[in-house]
Amino acid sequence: MKRVAIFTFIMSGFLISASAEIDVLKTGKQLARPCTWCHDTKRELIAPSFKEIADRYRDIPDARKILFNSIKEGSKGRWKKWFEKGMYMPPQKPYYSDKQIDMIVEWILSLK
C-alpha cells in the first residue's frame, strides 16, 4: 500500500510538470500570434518560418538567450537572405514582458 501511495505521488509530480510545460508551450504559441504577420510556423512569408528558426538554433548552447534578445531588442543581419532584402526583426520589448518572451522562445524551440 505504501509503495502505491509513493508511486502515485511521484507520478502526479510528472503529470503536473508535463501539464505546466504544455501550458507554457500553448501560451507561447498564443503570444506569438501577432508575429504571424511576418513568420509562419512552417513556410516562409516575409521572414523565416518559426520551424526554420527552431532548426537553426536547436543545437546552439545559448539559443534561448540569443532568441530572447532577438525578440526583445530586435536583430539585423542574422539571416543574410532576409537582410539583403532590407528586412530586420524589430524590437518587441514594448509589447511583451520578459516572461512572455521566454514562453515564445520555449514554443519556437519546441517545434520539430
pLDDT number for residue 21: 61
Domain of residue 94 covers 2-110
Q: Is 35 annotated as a binding residue?
A: yes
Which bin fits 35, alpha (ψ -120 to 50), beta or left (φ > 0)? alpha
Instruction: Give dist(CA 102, CA 57) in Å, integer.
Output: 15
* CATH code assigned at 28: 1.10.760.10
Residue that wins the pLDDT comparison between 65 and 24:
65
Does 1 show up as a binding residue in the annotation? Answer: no
- Top pLDDT among 25 and 79 is at 25
Amino acid 16: pLDDT:
42
Q: How many domains does the chain have?
A: 1
Q: Is the pTM of this model over 0.75?
A: yes
- Residue 39 assigned as binding residue: yes
In this predicted model, which residue has the larger pLDDT, 79 or 41? 41
Model confidence at 81, pLDDT cuts 50, 70, 90, reads: confident
